[in-house]
Structure 1
Amino acid sequence: MADVQKLVLKTILSLPTPILRALSGGGVVYRGGRTLDPRFQFFAHAARGLPSMTALSPEEARAGSAKGLLAVSGPPEVGVRNESLTIDGPGGQIPIRAYRPAEQDSSAPLIVFAHFGGGVIGDLETCHAFCGILARIARTAVLSVDYRLAPDHRFPAGLDDVLAAYRWGRDNAARFGAAPGQAAIGGDSMGGNFAAVLAQEMQRAGEAQPAFQLLIYPAVDVASESPSMATYADSYPLSRPIMEWFMGHYMGPEADPADPRLSPDKTQDLTGLAPAIVVTAGFDPLVDQGEAYAKRLIAAGVPTVYRCYDSLAHGFTAFTGAVPAADAACREIAALVRAEIEK
């Protein structure tokens, strides 16, 4: 049944843009000087008939998200093999998945990657397609982390798992054909939050910086307002109410939103952090804070590449099988990573 549904969806999404927009409420979605991709417009329109994530339990949200992602994710990347294993973590075993391309650069660092999901939903399947793309184009091994989720494991449990997985990956990089003792950190959305925090935590701990940090539509400030929070408050798939639902489960009543481990943009001094690739999506409540963090990194002397994909929405790394522009963006991001490795 899932294959049939995916075929039907693919057929609809291949319709000419005017027809697709007509099926999506008509007209062009133009906001903040940006035009939404017609396929994301279709998904946003279709989602109006579904229960909001805010009305679901975390368990229901995880199941619904996993089912939805199956319909929009791309196929496994050709020329990339993967293996699943577990490592010791601060709260027990951490499932991880290692991706290795057929053509691998043994001088490149291992990339440890954390998926999106607000710290509440998501697993190794969430970023499966993207990790394959990243491994093949960047020509290096990628280690995806299935960190603990809230509300069963609130902040900082997920972050602690990613920190543990990063250190393990760095120390075991050669096992996966990467440069011995060399690792980079990456993630999208909450995973991007973890990646930004990790670079800062390495500095605070006196440890070597990651080879680079890849921050894809990162949540870097959960304590402050920005214009895009209002402009895209009702956006798909991440709206302001959903963000608040995530944070309510993730932080708990005792957490301080201004804690730099929750809001890395609150760290006053960013000098000396790892080179950064910062990516944002145009139709995303987080676009302003991602851009602002990139500008702060640049001002602090951190080598930084910034890209905004104006027509795309938050979470686009999961839509490689349904939105051609999302697939193209993911491949460009992987090429930016390769360029960083070659510096």
Structure 2
Amino acid sequence: MADPAIQRLYLKSVLSLPPPVLRALSGGGVIWRGGRTLDPRFQFLWKAWRKPRGIASVTPEEARTTWAEMVETAAPRAPSMVRVDTVMIDGPASTLTARLYRPSTLDPAAPVLVFFHDGAGVVGDLETSHALCARLAEYGQCLVLAPAYRLAPEHRFPAGFDDAFAAYAWALENAERLGGPPGVAAVGGQSIGAGFAAGICAALKAERQPQPVLQLLICPLVDIADESQSMQTYADAWPLSAQALKWVLGWYLSADADPNDPRLSPLRADVAGFAPALIVTAGFDPLADQGESYARKLKSKGVPVIYRCYDGLPHAFPEFAGLVPCAEVACTEIAGFLREGLEGRLVRAAALPDHQDSMSLVI
């Protein structure tokens, strides 16, 4: 990949062109699937960045490098007013490095949000999730603790989840020292990080421990054996395809992994009594149905839920918010939902609508 700074300037210039021009540069036509139309800027990026090389021949190290370079090019700048400190956490196997994000205006009543990055347990790190965490802290007016959990294949499941759970427990014990109210915390994450957050709710329920005050799930991976319609409709989507998901889970999972394990597939757990949830999905994502199904299941058990699907966006859209304006708007909205959730403004309401309506909030 070219120098990220140069490529960023080039892409920002090209992506400012009118949608018909972008679609023409992308080969013409509109990408329309399942009643949804892909944003023309993402259509151009799909054409420009999708690699013809088969994913099966890519190594985890290559995937990490490629993703890091892509995010460096496409991610938005983190709010400059957010203070970022390095924190060391006692993990189950070794000391974990984490980043603590402190907003310019901190609500002292807002609990710490422990947020886990995406990457299916194989790619991604604190840097690739940096801009999103800073935005959540600033506009959510809360502390955000982002731990660097162990990655596969060097450390297969359940290592990453165990680190995530340890980070949440550490946040509970140290919440007051960090600057939040004592003894409470929220959990959140993106993709598999969202799965970690939901899995923590399942683990706490199994141990008869109190739930987090909130779970924030962005494009959640909550069923590793998912066979829903979105897995077929958006099988060739970018940057996450069904083939790429299968490849990365092959590196992440241990040989004896059970798809029904709630640490892997919290969608299959008994979710009664789980924490209130903010669930966000992307329309052009093989995982889209998982997030909606999880929202519906929580709602059926009386758990307060806000659900939102951004129809024209793909998986991992927050990492592209520096290039695609509608992705940036979505991230700001998510931070606003977080603020409402932390203030306790989630309420029970009617069941989710039977039809898909990405422009409506389900609360």
TM-score above 0.5: yes
Change (3 A) 1:53 1:162: same
Separation in structure 1 between the aligned mates of residue 137 and residue 260 of structure 2, nearest angstrom: 34
Aligned-pair RMSD on alpha carbons? 1.1
Instruction: Tell me how far 1:157 sits from its aligned partner.
Output: 0.3
SS at match of 2:109: coil
Q: 1:29 matched to which residue of 2? A: 31
Question: What is the aligned length?
Answer: 342
Q: 2:297 matched to which residue of 1? A: 296
Q: 2:98 matched to which residue of 1? A: 96
Separation in structure 1 between the aligned mates of residue 179 and residue 52 of structure 2, nearest angstrom: 45
Separation in structure 2 between the aligned mates of residue 317 and residue 87 of structure 1, nearest angstrom: 26
Instruction: Tell me how far 1:253 sits from its aligned partner.
Output: 2.1
Separation in structure 1 between the aligned mates of residue 139 and residue 207 of structure 2, nearest angstrom: 32
Separation in structure 2 between the aligned mates of residue 29 and residue 331 of structure 1, nearest angstrom: 26
Separation in structure 2 between the aligned mates of residue 106 and residue 15 of structure 1, nearest angstrom: 44
Q: 1:193 matched to which residue of 2? A: 195
Query: Is 329-338 or 169-178 further displaced after alignment?
Result: 169-178
Kindly report which structure 2 residues correspond to 1:147-166, keeping only aligned pairs within 5 A, or say none: 147-166=149-168
Post-superposition Cα deviations, 1:284-338, rounded to whole Å, max 9, x if no partner, equal 0011111011000000000011000000000011111011111111110110110
| Amino acid in structure 1 at the alignment position of 2:337 | L
Separation in structure 2 between the aligned mates of residue 124 and residue 52 of structure 1, nearest angstrom: 27
Kindly report which structure 2 residues correspond to 1:44-123, keeping only aligned pairs within 5 A, or say none: 44-123=46-125
Identity of aligned pairs, percent?
52
Separation in structure 2 between the aligned mates of residue 224 and residue 61 of structure 1, nearest angstrom: 23
Separation in structure 2 between the aligned mates of residue 8 and residue 224 of structure 1, nearest angstrom: 38
2:280–2:307 contact (8 Å) kept in structure 1: yes
Kindly report which structure 2 residues correspond to 1:1-343, keeping only aligned pairs within 5 A, or say none: 1-267=3-269, 269-343=270-344
Q: Which runs of 5+ in 1 are unaligned?
A: none
Post-superposition Cα deviations, 1:241-269, rounded to whole Å, max 9, x if no partner, equal 100011111113221122221111111x2
Separation in structure 2 between the aligned mates of residue 318 and residue 175 of structure 1, nearest angstrom: 31
Post-superposition Cα deviations, 1:50-92, rounded to whole Å, max 9, x if no partner, equal 5344321101110111011100001121321101222110121
Separation in structure 1 between the aligned mates of residue 313 and residue 258 of structure 2, nearest angstrom: 31
Separation in structure 2 between the aligned mates of residue 142 and residue 48 of structure 1, nearest angstrom: 32
Separation in structure 2 between the aligned mates of residue 106 and residue 305 of structure 1, nearest angstrom: 24
So what's the TM-score if we normalise by structure 2? 0.92
Q: Which runs of 5+ in 2 are unaligned?
A: 345-363
Separation in structure 2 between the aligned mates of residue 331 and residue 176 of structure 1, nearest angstrom: 25
2:88–2:97 contact (8 Å) kept in structure 1: yes
So what's the TM-score if we normalise by structure 1? 0.97
Post-superposition Cα deviations, 1:96-134, rounded to whole Å, max 9, x if no partner, equal 000000100011000000011011001001111111110
| Amino acid in structure 2 at the alignment position of 1:277 | L
Separation in structure 2 between the aligned mates of residue 254 and residue 190 of structure 1, nearest angstrom: 19
Instruction: Tell me how far 1:32 sits from its aligned partner.
Output: 0.4
1:53–1:61 contact (8 Å) kept in structure 2: no
SS at match of 1:172: helix
